[in-house]
Structure 1
């Protein structure tokens, strides 16, 4: 893991640990990359509760409770689905905060209005859900790495 991701994950862990909070992840396009960055930190079991890798629409519905109709209406790559994934991660874990990623890492998969590099994020706590949609440049690996970093940055803001 690159140093920047390591430092971001470490900072997230320090913030969560100081607050006595647990984290859950719900990942699609990042394929567990956020959870990997977090578990690369020694002692992360004190603040990382669990991770869900929900790559298919069915897994988003079965594991996180994302309504199939929501996916049908907005598409899996949408802020609406990212928010539902983050809420679902909280509902299906003991975590206090959650992050979700869903996107198109490429090289294929683009649809009108959603080019390769589109990633939607959701960050949830008991009282609020925040979402964001970004389009990252680069190849599949670059998009995924940028998405992991952005997910961690959002967690830092949420837990600051």
Structure 2
């Protein structure tokens, strides 16, 4: 399997795996490497166009540059995680290691809460939807490969993971 390690100032080192390399191997031998909650890795050769990824990065960065008042239009509701806000703020007395976030739950599509999807930059929603469509294709591809290598019907695994919906 093709694996590289890259240093990230914010996250230490992440293994990077090629989707094609993962797909060509018998996943029974390598699944335990990934099925652990503390594991993070980056995929390469996934088929998502660089311009789609770059546009998503740009639109997201632009959103976070807006004044607080504008971002607060998408603020998290009390005791909820979806929307714009900060992670793990439990009380007003808590000392904060500030970390702004925009948490969106895009799937399943009928349950999307568009109220939290920024309209500024104007391209954000369209960009996010395009990125999600491409990411969904990669996810379904990997789920099918995992199912095949485990001898499970891919449709059953997709249904179990509630991924049978289409974008």
TM-score by length of 2: 0.24
Which is strand-richer, 1 or 2?
1
Greater Rg over alpha carbons, structure: 2
- Structure with bigger RCO (C-alpha 8 Å, 6+ apart): 1
TM-score by length of 1: 0.24
